[in-house]
């Protein structure tokens, strides 16, 4: 692997790179992209989609032609309503909200007026905040005034916009009008922590769930007695949950001015969809008995009139007069809540490797949506992820073959700059080449070389560490530049690693490849090799020799690529008297960090790493995905002796994921010295999504940072002592990285 200035400056260059110029997007594609953002948000938060009964893919596919063809706001609004229609959501509004009606009322504190029959009217047109200095005094004054009331009417229609809710004052006063405790309804909303893999498993613990708010309870005061209450509301009222509880328990009526919708009673979210505001429900009511449902007892036309003579107050008085023949909430339709959210995998849409245009668009939208909501490293991308949606939707309009389709998806995946990204499927294998050379290639000192012969007979004319100059007459540098846009990588070194490992030299099964080589003697020669599927995914490169050994100078050496958990105790017994230990982590470990790190923990550290799983919530006020955060603790030592010698770890671009996590454990436990070149810069438990066309894609599912919060992704573990192999050293059979580590132990430099 190479170690040069670009590798060291990579994180800074990524951050400082100017945004590329925007690619013109056809208007019909932009309309689809705008609607896709709405479809994506609704998919993850709308309560009606939690049980999987609505085919949300089909809703998009059916509405897509109308969305694409909509030439004005009216037709766009109609197309968006078509998209949302399967939700049967009365909270849906497409377009600007009509101006709310505010009552004409004078400023001042809540007023109390006596009406015939002992009914009291409380006009609460300007809510009182509970943190106001005189709040409790106002409550006491109102309680005294309302004590003789036979019934109570709350007029909660506001006189002006206000973010203060009336619930605090209403709840205090209602405690005098109850005979028994009143449990208020809560809301529940969907939540997701990470993305549940559509294929395979994960150790990430990702899940989707209902998040139910804890309900509150009003307890009758000492002088309380049950009396009927009417609540007058309109579209501008923040309706107190107590009004719904009173109605359901038979104690309260709700009078509405205007046509009620779900938006009056449940949490909603609103998105700008290409200039059109779109509102939809993002939560639902939960009553104590497990039911949901809402409605009003009397619906009137909107009016700005307030006071005893208003139609709303007169309607409230009439409701009270019809007791007990007219029971509160008797016409409200209620139903049991679905107790479970049900996860089910996305549809694969058969094995057609070239989906039709609608499914090609769905592929981009599904891919974009999952990454937009659940990729923890969006902030580290070189180009804003928002740009990918219209760009790749436009690309799908011109796709004409299976190969083009697979490569467009591959190029979209490469935008993630994540070494955990891997696109699988027959069509991408055919597009990139189903067979590989009988060689393992690598980049050393900026030159592509033969790292290993996978089939000695098939590569008899090739020597290890030969430099590869051309493949089928194309310079390898040009081939790597051509392939780079389809192969994800997090750092310059992993670019080289991933291209030589998974892309360079691929072709059809049984096809011949002409390679121009330069040997150790400097002479050029040309060889012909046959490609084979057997070499497409070769066995992992492994070192030979002893896994644990003592080196001259009383130094221990441990190959973490091969050490297993049952061997850890014996390893420590073997090296316990050494003055230093070199852990070779140029590879992938076997879960040993959890057993080794406690034995190195001379710092007494508690925390080893910080995890940041993506989190997405429905309800209100969660319009953008967020992230959780929790600290991973080092396991206890369980009485086993500490190793107190110097600790070094050898790293390079092969040090990825769990290997990097091992480095996090060790640096938390002791003053480990990293020797080599930067690690891969990709850590976090993997998850997978499926894409029409028989493709699936893995990616990093949660963020991981150093215990002190430093960035790891796209940076990697940074060597304290930078050193990389040279071609001359490799040809001589030397391990220059290990040599440098041993020199540091001897000299301290």
Q: Which tokens belong to 57?
A: 């893919």
Place of tokens 């004052």: 169
Pinpoint the residues of the chain covered by CATH 3.90.226.10: 548-747
Task: Please tell me the distance from the alpha carbon of residue 236 to that of residue 102, in angstroms, as a whole number.
Answer: 8
C-beta separation of 195 from 161 below 8 A: no
Span of 19-23, 251-255, 421-425 with lowest mean pLDDT: 19-23
- pLDDT, residue 2, reads 34
Place of tokens 């019909």: 28
Span of 161-170, 447-456, 515-524, 619-628 with lowest mean pLDDT: 619-628
- Considering the four listed CATH numbers 3.30.70.260, 3.50.20.10, 1.10.3720.10, 2.30.42.10, the one that applies to the domain covering 435-535 is 2.30.42.10
Instruction: Say whether pTM exceeds 0.85.
Output: yes
Write down the mean pLDDT value for the chain: 93
- pLDDT, residue 3, reads 35
Q: pLDDT of 294-341, one tens digit each?
A: 999 999 999 999 999 999 999 999 999 998 888 999 989 899 998 888
Q: pLDDT of 474-523, one tens digit each?
A: 999 999 999 999 999 999 999 999 999 999 999 999 999 999 999 999 99
Cβ neighbourhood burial of 637 (10 Å; 0-12, 13-18, 19+): middle
Place of tokens 């480990």: 672
Span of 198-212, 253-267, 542-556 with lowest mean pLDDT: 198-212
Cβ atoms within 10 Å, residue 13: 12
C-beta separation of 442 from 727 below 8 A: no
435-445: burial string, b at 16+ Cβ within 10 Å, e else: bbbbbbbbbbb
- The values of phi and psi at residue 295, to 5°, are 175, 180
Q: pLDDT of 353-410, one tens digit each?
A: 899 999 999 999 999 999 999 999 999 999 999 999 999 999 999 999 999 999 999 9
Q: Residues, the chain, total?
A: 749
Place of tokens 């059979």: 733
Asked if residue 251 has pLDDT above 60, the reply is yes
Sequential DSSP letters for 679-692: -----S-EEEEEET
Q: CA nearest 36: which of 4, 83, 2, 82?
A: 83
Rg from Cα positions in the chain? 34
Please compute, for residue 382, the number of CA atoms within 13 A of its CA located in the half-sphere on the CB side: 22
Q: pLDDT of 7-58, one tens digit each?
A: 333 333 333 333 334 458 999 999 999 999 999 999 999 999 999 999 999 9
Pinpoint the residues of the chain covered by CATH 2.30.42.10: 435-535
> What 3-state DSSP class applies to 217?
strand
Measuring CA to CA, how many Å separate 428 from each of 37, 515, 693? 27, 24, 10
- pLDDT, residue 23, reads 59
Q: pLDDT of 564-577, one tens digit each?
A: 999 999 999 999 99
Place of tokens 């690598």: 442
C-beta separation of 687 from 643 below 8 A: no
Q: Which residues lie across from 583 on neighbouring strands?
A: 558, 649
Q: What is the helix (H) or strand (E) element at residue 373, kind and residue range?
A: helix 357-374
- Considering the four listed CATH numbers 3.90.226, 3.60.40, 3.90.25, 3.90.1010, the one that applies to the domain covering 111-336 is 3.90.226
Task: Please tell me the distance from the alpha carbon of residue 501 to that of residue 190, in angstroms, as a whole number.
Answer: 41
Contacts of residue 173, defined as CB under 8 A and 6 or more positions apart, other chains included, come to: 122, 139, 142, 143, 146, 152
- pLDDT, residue 107, reads 63
Q: Domain 548-747 classified CATH 3.90.226.10?
A: yes
Task: Please tell me the distance from the alpha carbon of residue 56 to that of residue 62, in angstroms, as a whole number.
Answer: 10
- pLDDT, residue 199, reads 85
- pLDDT, residue 712, reads 98
C-beta separation of 635 from 594 below 8 A: yes
- pLDDT, residue 716, reads 98
Q: pLDDT of 664-694, one tens digit each?
A: 999 999 999 999 999 999 999 999 999 999 9
Task: Please tell me the distance from the alpha carbon of residue 127 to that of residue 541, in angstroms, as a whole number.
Answer: 71
Q: Which residues lie across from 331 on neighbouring strands?
A: none
Q: CA nearest 510: which of 458, 563, 561, 549?
A: 458
């Amino acid at each position: 692997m190479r170690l040069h200035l670009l590798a060291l400056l990579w994180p800074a260059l990524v951050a400082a790179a100017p945004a590329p110029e925007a690619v013109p997007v056809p208007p019909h594609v932009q309309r689809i992209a705008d609607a896709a953002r709405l479809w994506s948000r609704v998919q993850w938060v709308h309560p009606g989609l939690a049980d999987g009964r609505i085919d949300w893919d089909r809703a998009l596919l059916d509405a897509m032609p109308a969305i694409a063809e909509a030439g004005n706001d009216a037709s766009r609004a109609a197309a968006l309503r078509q998209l949302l229609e399967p939700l049967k959501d009365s909270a849906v509004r497409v377009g600007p909200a009509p101006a709310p009606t505010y009552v004409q009322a004078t400023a001042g504190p809540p007023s109390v007026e006596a009406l015939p029959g002992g009914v009291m009217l409380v006009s609460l047109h300007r809510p009182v905040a509970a943190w106001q200095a005189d709040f409790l005094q106002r409550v006491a004054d109102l309680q005294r005034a309302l004590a003789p009331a036979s019934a109570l009417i709350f007029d909660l229609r506001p006189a002006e916009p206000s973010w203060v809710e009336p619930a605090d004052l209403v709840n205090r006063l209602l405690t005098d009008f109850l005979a028994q405790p009143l449990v208020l309804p809560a809301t529940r909303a969907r939540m997701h922590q990470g993305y549940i893999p559509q294929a395979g498993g994960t150790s990430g613990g990702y899940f989707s769930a209902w998040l139910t708010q804890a309900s509150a309870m009003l307890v009758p005061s000492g002088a309380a007695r049950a009396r009927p209450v009417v609540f007058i509301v309109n579209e501008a009222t923040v309706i107190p949950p107590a009004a719904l509880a009173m109605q359901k328990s038979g104690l309260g009526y709700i009078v509405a001015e205007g046509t009620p919708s779900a938006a009056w009673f449940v949490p909603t979210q609103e998105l700008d969809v290409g200039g059109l505001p779109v509102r939809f429900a993002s939560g639902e009511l939960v009553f104590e008995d497990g039911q949901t449902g809402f409605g009003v007892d009397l619906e009137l036309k909107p009016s700005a009139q307030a006071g005893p003579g208003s139609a709303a107050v007169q309607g409230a008085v009439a409701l009270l007069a019809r007791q007990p023949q007219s029971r509160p909430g008797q016409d409200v339709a209620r139903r049991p809540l679905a107790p479970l959210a049900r996860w089910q995998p996305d549809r694969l849409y058969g094995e057609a490797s070239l989906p039709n245009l609608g499914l090609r668009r769905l592929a981009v939208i599904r891919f974009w949506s999952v990454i937009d909501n659940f990729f923890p490293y969006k902030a580290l991308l070189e180009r804003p992820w928002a740009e990918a949606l219209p760009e790749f939707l436009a690309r799908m309009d011109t796709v004409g073959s299976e190969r083009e389709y697979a490569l467009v998806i591959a190029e979209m995946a490469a935008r993630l700059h994540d070494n955990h990204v891997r696109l699988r499927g027959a069509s991408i294998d055919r597009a990139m080449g189903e067979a590989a050379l009988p060689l393992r290639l690598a980049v050393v000192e900026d030159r592509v070389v033969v790292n290993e012969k996978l089939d000695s007979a098939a590569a008899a004319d090739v020597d290890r560490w030969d430099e590869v100059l051309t493949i089928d007459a194309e310079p390898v540098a040009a081939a790597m530049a051509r392939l780079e846009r389809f192969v994800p990588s997090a750092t310059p070194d992993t670019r080289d690693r991933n291209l030589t490992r998974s892309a360079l030299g691929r072709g059809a099964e049984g096809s011949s490849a002409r390679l121009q080589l330069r040997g150790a003697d400097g002479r050029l020669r040309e060889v012909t090799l046959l490609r084979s599927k057997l070499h497409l995914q070769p066995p992992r490169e492994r070192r030979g020799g002893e896994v644990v050994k003592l080196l001259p100078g009383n130094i221990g050496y441990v190959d973490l690529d091969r050490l297993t958990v049952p061997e850890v105790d014996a390893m420590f017994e073997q090296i316990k008297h050494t003055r230093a230990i070199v852990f070779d982590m140029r590879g992938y470990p076997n879960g040993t960090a959890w057993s080794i790190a406690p034995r190195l923990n001379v710092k007494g550290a508690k925390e080893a790493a910080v995890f940041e799983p993506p989190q997405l919530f429905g309800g209100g006020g969660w319009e953008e995905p967020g992230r959780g955060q929790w600290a991973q603790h080092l396991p206890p030592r369980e009485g086993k002796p500490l190793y107190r010698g110097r600790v070094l770890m050898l790293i390079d671009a092969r040090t990825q994921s769990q290997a990097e996590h091992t480095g996090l454990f060790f640096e938390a436990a002791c003053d480990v010295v990293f020797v080599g070149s930067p690690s891969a810069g990709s850590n976090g438990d993997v998850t997978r999504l499926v894409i029409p066309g028989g493709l699936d894609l893995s990616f990093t599912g949660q963020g991981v940072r150093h215990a002190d919060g430093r960035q790891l992704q796209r940076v990697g573990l940074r060597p304290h002592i930078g050193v990389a192999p040279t071609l001359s050293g490799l040809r001589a059979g030397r391990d220059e990285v290990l040599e440098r580590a041993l020199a540091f132990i001897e000299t301290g430099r």
